Amino acid sequence: MKRIWIGVGLVLLAGCGAETTTSPPRKKARADVVALVASVRDAGVQGLELEVQPLRDPQVEDLRHRAEAQEAAGDYADAAASLDQALALVPGDPDLLQWKAELALLRRVWSQAEALANQSYGNGPKLGGLCRRNWLTIHHARRLAGNADGAAVARRQVDACTVAPPVRM
């Protein structure tokens, strides 16, 4: 009888030690990337600049709305595919490229996020909100890929995207 209780005790102890929970760290990691992308998007609206937005093609607008819904549902790959369709209509659009770079951050594809943000910067304005989003995306992609020096350079570029307004007297 004593052997049975020892066996039961060992089974219970083994069961306690075998249980591992991986869900909380994964959820926290996912939340960290979502917060990171939110900070990138916030950087785009912090400035005092006047930004001119071109009129958009209605078909591109529909694809943008679809991508927004897909991203909100956490379906980042389909959102990127919708943006690819929009980019086929307006090749090289810097806003769409930057959005796709942010989706790459959400999918943890650091090299793609950096490449798309660089392409967006090359096609877009060199000042203002989009410029800040470009460089902040590049900063995060480099930092998360382990390139601390490159990340520091990109971080300094973020501040260069904002031009102080003239002093009026």
Quote the pTM value: 0.77
CA atoms of 124 and 97, how far apart (whole Å): 10
Sequence-separated (6 or more) residues with CB below 8 Å from residue 94 = 120, 121, 123, 124, 125, 130
Cα–Cα distance for residue pair 51/27, rounded to 1 Å: 36
Along the 169 residues of the chain, how does pLDDT read in single tens digits? 555 555 545 545 555 554 444 444 455 555 598 988 988 988 877 666 666 677 788 999 999 999 999 999 999 999 999 999 999 999 999 999 999 999 999 999 999 999 999 999 999 999 999 999 999 999 999 999 999 999 999 999 998 998 777 788 7
Dig out the tokens for 124 from the structure.
């877009």
Distance of CA 58 to the CA centre of its chain: 26
Domains of the chain in start order, with CATH, are 28-49+56-160 (1.25.40.10)
- Cβ 158 vs Cβ 136: under 8 Å: yes
